[in-house]
Structure 1
Amino acid sequence: MAESRRLGKADLTLPCKEMAHYLLGKILARKLDNGAVLKGRIVETECYLGGEDKASHSYNGRQTPGNEPMYMPSGTTYVYFTYGMYFCFNISSIEPGAVVLIRAAEPLQGLETMAKFRSVKKKGVLKETELCNGPSKLCIAMNMTKQNCNKMDLCESEVLWIEDDGGKVEEKEIVISTRIGIASAGEEWAGKPLRFYVLSNPHVSKRDKKAERELS
């Protein structure tokens, strides 16, 4: 990999939609307790805007001890537990209650370790494209839980950060689609174009072929 720099406050102080675009192509790095560092290139993101966004945990200004990181400074991690068994990893933006969900990543470093973490939940041999191709898979592969990765400042943390190695994703490569698994939020918000992914990347969780055709 090319030499990379760690992102700082100036990089991550962004509105939610802008951050969701900006993070594509950046590298999520996770340092484990044994000193090993896992890395994956972010290839899919989703926006949860708070306020009127009925799919957001902060809909209508809702504030609880659980969603506190959504109101913390931009670049703060928000990890939540879902379906009674999985974690999802988010990053706060500058708007109160708005976060970017990291949906998928392309594994770059520590693939054997990622595979071991994933094999605890899934039997059989996993393909490289199956390691981090979904929000809960990503959290399992990189050992990110609410207990060890929540409320962290990505610009200061020693165990979790984001890097830029120059792997820029051009706008023409970004597919804009609807979010996944939020039908309960109602047709209007379920249909909002708030999911973004890298065209033709095999590590994306779910492709939207109609949106891809419109992009071309």
Structure 2
Amino acid sequence: MSLPFTSYEEGTPLPPAFYDMTALEAAPRLIGHTLVRRTEDGDIRCRIVETESYGGVEDKGSHAYGGRRTARTEIMFGRGGAAYIYLIYGMYHCLNVVTGAMNDPQAVLIRAVEPLTSADEVLMRKYRNAAAKRPVDLSGGPGKLCRGLRIDKSLNGQSLLEQGGPLWIEAGRPLQNAAIMQSPRINIAYAEEYAAKPWRFFLRNNPYVPLLDKNMDVFKEF
């Protein structure tokens, strides 16, 4: 059975209704869709192959845990369909997709992408400006993919709904549930009991996905 919410016309922008879902609903359903970055050198299209859900004020892994509303997290409290981008370790940007309703902070971290064509890969390697011998070295991690796609905080708050802007998401091909795996999220021990939640989702056997977890399982509907 194909995942719900993936039966859109391939190559068209995901509709606003897609982003009305919670992060936990949207995270596995973003797998297989296409992230597009427009640059002066041309468009780069990448398949989303790994995500993590950070949703709601109760999630201790979320920047908005407990209703924390700051200049940085304000974008999470808006309606879904925008990019939330922040800097970690003072050097790596992370791209998140805001989902959910107004005043309900929900975001999906994009952890890994796969370039759709060799031309897309060439541009990503140019922008990465670093040796990437394996696919996972190119865009298998949130910081790597942001460098490869030239994504930084200048795109924070950017709408993802419309083709032709600097960043948007198009529908990919529907996937089967068995193609998507889930496991605990990466490097969030601070989230206490929420650290073990299986809220990381990734495409099975994809070479761009890093850090496979022994506790992984086939995705099941929540």
TM-score (norm 1): 0.89
Instruction: Report how many aligned residue pairs link the two structures.
Output: 207
After superposing the two structures, state which structure 1 stretch, 125-134 or 84-93, moved more: 125-134
The residue that corresponds to 1:192 in the other structure is 197
Identity of aligned residues (%): 39
Asked if the contact 2:178/2:218 (under 8 Å) is kept, the reply is no
In the alignment, the residues of structure 2 paired with residue 41 and residue 195 of structure 1 have an alpha-carbon distance, to the nearest angstrom, of: 16
- Partner SS, residue 65 of structure 2: coil
- Partner SS, residue 116 of structure 2: strand
**Which sections of structure 1, spanning at least 5 residues, go unmatched?**
none
Residues 1:69 and 2:79 aligned together: no
Asked if the contact 1:103/1:205 (under 8 Å) is kept, the reply is no
| Residues 1-39 of structure 1: per-residue CA shift (max 9 Å, x gap) | x9621212123221211111110000000001x151011
In the alignment, the residues of structure 1 paired with residue 14 and residue 41 of structure 2 have an alpha-carbon distance, to the nearest angstrom, of: 20
The residue that corresponds to 1:93 in the other structure is 99
Q: Relative to 1, partners in 2 of residues 1:74 and 1:190: Cα closer, same or farther, differing over 3 Å? A: same
What does 1:51-66 correspond to in 2, within 5 Å? 51-66=57-72
In the alignment, the residues of structure 1 paired with residue 211 and residue 50 of structure 2 have an alpha-carbon distance, to the nearest angstrom, of: 9
Q: Relative to 1, partners in 2 of residues 1:213 and 1:75: Cα closer, same or farther, differing over 3 Å? A: closer
Runs of 4+ in 1 over 6 A off after TM superposition: none
- Partner SS, residue 92 of structure 1: strand
In the alignment, the residues of structure 2 paired with residue 93 and residue 212 of structure 1 have an alpha-carbon distance, to the nearest angstrom, of: 24
**Which sections of structure 2, spanning at least 5 residues, go unmatched?**
1-8
The residue that corresponds to 2:166 in the other structure is 159
Q: Relative to 1, partners in 2 of residues 1:126 and 1:116: Cα closer, same or farther, differing over 3 Å? A: farther
Q: Relative to 1, partners in 2 of residues 1:91 and 1:3: Cα closer, same or farther, differing over 3 Å? A: closer
Q: Say which of 9, 22, 35 aligns to 2:16.
A: 9
Q: Say which of 102, 116, 119 aligns to 2:110.
A: 102
In the alignment, the residues of structure 1 paired with residue 54 and residue 185 of structure 2 have an alpha-carbon distance, to the nearest angstrom, of: 9
In the alignment, the residues of structure 2 paired with residue 184 and residue 10 of structure 1 have an alpha-carbon distance, to the nearest angstrom, of: 33
The residue that corresponds to 1:118 in the other structure is 128
Q: Tell me the amino acid that sits aligned with residue 152 of structure 1.
A: Q
Residues 1:150 and 2:167 aligned together: no
Report the Cα offset of residue 214 of structure 1. 9.9
- Partner SS, residue 172 of structure 1: helix
Asked if the contact 1:199/1:212 (under 8 Å) is kept, the reply is no
